[in-house]
Amino acid sequence: VNPLPLPLPPPGDVRACAMGGAKVESAYQAVACIAGAVDVPGADGAITVDMPGLDSEMTFYVYATAEDLEDLRPPHPFLLAPRDVSYPSTANLQRAVTRVTPCEGVVTVDISPPRWNHGGVGGGGDPTATAVTSTDLTVSFGLSEPGDVFWVVILGGQNTGGYSEPAAVQSQSAPTAADVMRGTGAGGGEHVASGTSTVTSSSANTNTTIHISGSLMPRVSYDVYLTARDVAGNVMVGGAATVRVTTRDDTPPAFRDDSPSMLVGGRVAQVA
| CATH number of the domain to which 204 belongs | 2.60.40.10
Lowest mean pLDDT among 21-35, 139-153, 216-230: 21-35
Q: Say how far apart CA 224 and CA 219 lie, in whole Å.
A: 15
* pLDDT reported for residue 84: 52
Q: Are residues 97 and 149 in the same domain?
A: no
Q: Are residues 64 and 132 in the same domain?
A: no
* pLDDT reported for residue 272: 55
Instruction: Please compute the mean of the pLDDT values over residues 222-227 and round it to a whole number.
Output: 95
Greatest C-alpha distance within the chain = 145
Mean of pLDDT over the chain: 78
* pLDDT reported for residue 230: 94
In a domain, 181, yes or no: yes
* pLDDT reported for residue 168: 43
> Phi/psi zone of residue 7: left (φ > 0), alpha (ψ -120 to 50 degrees), beta?
beta
In a domain, 258, yes or no: no
Q: Are residues 180 and 99 in the same domain?
A: no
141 and 149 in contact (C-beta within 8 Å)? yes
Q: Are residues 144 and 176 in the same domain?
A: yes
Q: Of 109, 143, 177, which residue constitutes the final position of a domain? A: 109
Lowest mean pLDDT among 32-41, 136-145, 220-229: 32-41
In a domain, 261, yes or no: no
Q: How many domains in the chain?
A: 2
Whether pTM exceeds 0.85: no
39 and 84 in contact (C-beta within 8 Å)? no
Q: Residue 77: which pLDDT band, with cuts at 50, 70 and 90?
A: low
Q: Of 109, 140, 171, which residue constitutes the final position of a domain? A: 109
Instruction: Please compute the mean of the pLDDT values over residues 180-202 and round it to a whole number.
Output: 91
pLDDT > 70 fraction of the chain, expressed in percent and rounded: 74
In a domain, 96, yes or no: yes
Is the previous residue joined to 10 through a cis bond, with omega within 30 degrees of 0? Answer: no
Sort strands 241-246 and 221-230 into parallel, antiparallel or unpaired: antiparallel
* pLDDT reported for residue 15: 82
Instruction: Please compute the mean of the pLDDT values over residues 253-269 and round it to a whole number.
Output: 70
pLDDT of residue 65 exceeding 80, the answer is: yes
In a domain, 266, yes or no: no
Beta-strand runs (E) in the chain: 59-60, 63-64, 98-99, 106-107, 128-132, 136-142, 147-155, 193-199, 207-213, 221-230, 241-246, 262-265, 268-271
Q: Are residues 4 and 69 in the same domain?
A: yes
In a domain, 68, yes or no: yes
Q: Say how far apart CA 259 and CA 253 lie, in whole Å.
A: 13
1 and 100 in contact (C-beta within 8 Å)? no
Lowest mean pLDDT among 111-115, 128-132, 222-226, 261-265: 261-265
Other C-beta atoms within 10 Å of 155: how many?
19
Instruction: Please compute the mean of the pLDDT values over residues 112-120 and round it to a whole number.
Output: 77
Q: Are residues 10 and 89 in the same domain?
A: yes
Beta-strand runs (E) in 54-170: 59-60, 63-64, 98-99, 106-107, 128-132, 136-142, 147-155
Other C-beta atoms within 10 Å of 69: how many?
11
Where do runs of H (alpha helix) occur along the chain? 11-18, 27-31, 177-182
Q: Are residues 104 and 24 in the same domain?
A: yes
Which range of 21-25, 48-52, 204-208, 247-251 scores highest in mean pLDDT? It is 247-251
Q: Are residues 4 and 104 in the same domain?
A: yes
Domain that holds residue 48: 1-109
Q: Of 43, 77, 109, which residue constitutes the final position of a domain? A: 109
In a domain, 173, yes or no: yes
Q: Are residues 54 and 156 in the same domain?
A: no
Q: Are residues 132 and 242 in the same domain?
A: yes
**Residue scoring higher pLDDT (175 or 10):** 175
Which range of 5-14, 26-35, 226-235, 255-264 scores highest in mean pLDDT? It is 226-235
Q: Are residues 5 and 102 in the same domain?
A: yes
Instruction: Please compute the mean of the pLDDT values over residues 67-71 and round it to a whole number.
Output: 83
Q: Are residues 30 and 96 in the same domain?
A: yes
In a domain, 44, yes or no: yes
